[in-house]
Amino acid sequence: MTSTNFGQRFTAAAAKIPSAFGKNSTPGTTVYGRITKIGEQPKLKYGGAPGEVDTDDHGNVIQQLFITIETPNGPRNLYPTSRMEQAIGQAMNASGATSFDVGSTLSVTYTGPDPDNDKARLYTAVYTSAVGANGGGR
């Protein structure tokens, strides 16, 4: 019989930073704050078992970008989709920023479903470079 340390699983789940947007987020939901971390992590398999990671056709783990933002309600993770990345890119262009940096401020608003694809979401964003951020100049 194999022994499983469920305590580790529960404490790891409790320590996980919550996602900024969930499946029940309503249009108009905004997440804003200072960017504290940018990185990649294994993408979890949609509809898979808890902790099961997604792999490509060759068995390689698919990596997923995440952005941790310190919000008034604590840290939240953004997992940018292509439409969210587009909104962030437009916000960076509007601010004159040339790089995406920790310490900068980011606001992302879920504006509603994409009328051309009911499974996709549309976003708007505002990006403000950190003072003295490398490449974040105006």
pLDDT in tens, 11-30: 666 667 888 998 899 999 99
Please, which pLDDT band fits residue 137 given cuts at 50, 70 and 90? very low
Phi-psi region of 112 (alpha: psi -120 to 50; beta: other; left: phi over 0): left
Indicate the SS3 state at residue 34: strand
Tens digit of pLDDT for each residue in 68-101? 999 999 999 999 999 999 999 999 999 999 999 9
Q: CA–CA separation, 37 vs 17, rounded Å?
A: 12
Q: At 74, which helix (H) or strand (E)?
A: strand 74-78
What share of the chain in percent tops pLDDT 90? 66
> What is the widest separation between alpha-carbon atoms in the chain?
62
Tens digit of pLDDT for each residue in 51-60? 889 999 999 9
Locate 40 and state its tokens.
Answer: 């990649």
Q: CA–CA separation, 116 vs 91, rounded Å?
A: 23
116 compared with 1, residue with greater pLDDT: 116
Using the structure block, give the residue that is written with the tokens 């040339």: 98
**Mean per-residue pLDDT, 42-47:** 87
The amino acid sitting at 108 is V
Distances, alpha carbon 26 to alpha carbons 23, 36, 79, 87, in Å: 9, 25, 17, 18
Please, which pLDDT band fits residue 4 given cuts at 50, 70 and 90? low
pTM of the full structure: 0.80
Backbone angles phi, psi at 73, to 5 degrees: -100, 15
